[in-house]
Chain A
Amino acid sequence: MTQATSNNKFDSGLGLDVVFPTPGQIMRRRMMSHKGFIVGGIMVLLIFLMAVFAPVIAPHDPFHQDLSLRMIPPVWNEKGTWNYPLGTDNLGRDYLSRLVYGCRISLLIGFSCMMIAAVIGAMLGLTAGYFGGKLDMIVSFIITVRLALPAVLVAIAVVALIGGSMKIVILVLGCLIWDRFAVILRATTKQIRAIDYVQAAQAAGCSVLRVIVMEIMPNLFNSLVIVATLEIGRAILLEEALSFLGMGVQPPTPSWGLMISEGKDMMLFNPYLVTIPGAALFILVLGMNLFGDGLRDVTSPEGRS
């Protein structure tokens, strides 16, 4: 018997062994019984694998145009062929290959935007939550100003002026969607700051930096991961909306929003051009949200609403 399990034994005095589950076991049990967490996790994992193994999965080159193969409908249509399972677009490019490569773009943009937003939001939130007082007022004011700006409109205007490219889109969106990070980390930092061990560290003479890095940051990690998962979904939705309006990723990059935008003029007779990339987008964001919500429920069951 290993050390870990023997520690959980409790002598009830009746000669019966009572074994308490370890925290890890409780966590695992909670994870396995949370449907949203499992379903969302599997969805995200599948799409992530699809992005990583895109060159293996995609049957054709996503950029290769062949006008003799324009507008082949998907395989469930009687005119479709298994050679092009999801059909081709108006330039004769394989739709499945574009879809598979498009999820690389979506994940890349979603993740990078989230990282930028997390850095900005975490710094603001930590400062406001830890120092309080005047600094807190200033940060809260900055958050209010940010929320008052119409994000989509500002993003489109700036991208249009600078010129659309993936780098610009990521930078602009990252600088616009940090608000939730700031709001939530500010509140969490405030709570943790009041806990005894932080005050003990302060009383022991630890520097501000040490208290923040060693005592507070590890406890923020949980909320940070949860907000981050949900924010990736939000960033992806925003990016696809920008691409849909023609102010995001530029053609011929296979972005899902761009695919919908290119297909919408022909959707009257070829609805699959719009429904397929939209459904993919919906599934990705749904998976992200389910996973994020599940993570929150699993890690802090007392905060469940």
Chain B
Amino acid sequence: MLIYTLKRLGLAILVTVSVSFVSFMLIRVSGDPAIALAGEGASQEEIEFVRVQYGFDRPLIVQYIEWAGRALQGDLGEFPYLNQPVAGMLKERMGVTMTLGISALTFAMVLSIPLGVLAAIRPNTCIDRVALAISVMGQAMPSFWFGLIMIIFFGVHLRWLPISGSDTWKHFLMPTVALGYYATPAIMRLVRSGMLEVLASDHIRTSRAKGLRWPKILFKHALRNAIIPVVAVAAVQLGFMLGGSIVIESVFALNGLGNLAWVSISRSDLPVVQAIVLMLATIYVFLTFVSDLINAFFDPRIRNM
């Protein structure tokens, strides 16, 4: 287990370094950052000034090492517009996005695990069909449109829920559903196929033959086995949802990381965009690392791979 953990940790670090390099390069390759920062209509001298001021005139690799070195110490640069440290701002906005991501994941699990289990116990029945319909629709529903429809219905017609802002838990209800519904199909399919496989296995037949109660078999023996891969997928889905929250945050005017990213992108605030991409990618790498460990902890066969 220790060797496996170290191997995974090494891989995670390597991926993080590569991702940081890619996110650094992406911004550089897509255009001259000095021109973008200086703004439209800037003279050649002004652009040159910005270039020297921000150090864009040095070799790329030197710039990268300096940037990465400072990022490691928690210094992600400053806002060119606000003269505020980026790291502090990110921490502040991260709270909203994390709340949204975790509640969306909870919503997705609460919806998909019972439905997946029910669908597996009674395959090809009405419940199975409903579960399938929910998952097929979830894959095709544009999340921003789903959010707008909910705003029209619950916010405008029924006036039950506030439609923008992030002050109370009520503000998070619709964004949670809109974002969480996106992760539901993947989790539900996995629960269903996992349960079907476990329920057909020998040890379940043995426990039934022993005369154990059905609910006990279901929850203690079957679900426990089927749920392990779900934990892994849930962690990955959380990473995807944090990355995709930019769309939902813009629909519901939530003041989170995605919103900050969007504002920074439209102002060509490169250091902030880089920092956010790096942060989301690091969180994703961390989540997959943890889910790998959880999987290996419960399933020793994985450790030798």
Contacts and interface: CB of A to CB of B under 8 A. Distances in A.
Interface of A: 36, 141, 144-145, 147-154, 156-158, 160-162, 233, 237, 240-241, 244-245, 247, 257, 260, 264, 267-268, 271, 274-275, 278, 281-282, 285-286, 288-290, 293, 305
Given A153-B261, A160-B266, A244 B149 contact: no
Contacts of B148: 260, 264, 267, 274, 278
Given A148-B19, A148-B285, A247-B265, A153 B145 contact: no
A268 B140 contact: no
A144 B273 CA distance: 21
**Which of A152, A260, A286 has its CB near the most chain B CB atoms (within 10 A)?**
A152
Interface stretch (B43-51, B207-215, B239-247): B239-247
Contact of A148 (B15, B152, B246, B268): B15
Nearest to B185: A289
**Which of B19, B268, B288 has its CB near the most chain A CB atoms (within 10 A)?**
B19
Interface of B: 11, 14-16, 18-19, 22-23, 26-27, 30-31, 36, 136-137, 139-145, 148-149, 151-152, 156, 189, 192-193, 196, 239, 242-244, 246-247, 250, 258, 261-262, 265-266, 268, 273, 276-277, 280-281, 284-285, 288
B17 to A, nearest CB: 10
B276 A305 contact: no
Contacts of B261: 153, 156-157
A70 to B, nearest CB: 20
A286 to B, nearest CB: 4
Given A152-B246, A264-B148, 9 more contacts: A141-B11, A144-B288, A145-B18, A148-B284, A158-B26, A233-B140, A245-B250, A260-B148, A274-B152
24 contacts: A144-B15, A145-B15, A145-B22, A148-B15, A148-B288, A150-B243, A152-B243, A153-B246, A153-B258, A153-B273, A156-B265, A157-B273, A158-B30, A161-B30, A161-B36, A233-B140, A237-B142, A241-B247, A245-B246, A264-B148, A275-B152, A278-B149, A285-B139, A305-B192
A282 B146 CA distance: 10
Contact of A241 (B23, B142, B152): B142
B257 to A, nearest CB: 9
A289 B140 CA distance: 7
Per CB-CB distance, the 3 closest pairs between chain A and chain B, nearest first, are: A150-B243, A278-B145, A286-B140
Nearest to B36: A161
A286 B285 contact: no
A282 B142 contact: yes
Contacts of B266: 160
A266 B258 CA distance: 24
A149 B145 contact: no
B244 A150 contact: yes
Contacts of B193: 305
Given A141-B15, A245-B246, A274 B142 contact: no
A233 B185 CA distance: 15
Nearest to A244: B144
B26 A154 contact: yes
Nearest to B189: A305
Contacts of A281: 142, 145
Given A149-B281, A267-B152, A282-B141, A161 B27 contact: yes
Nearest to B32: A161
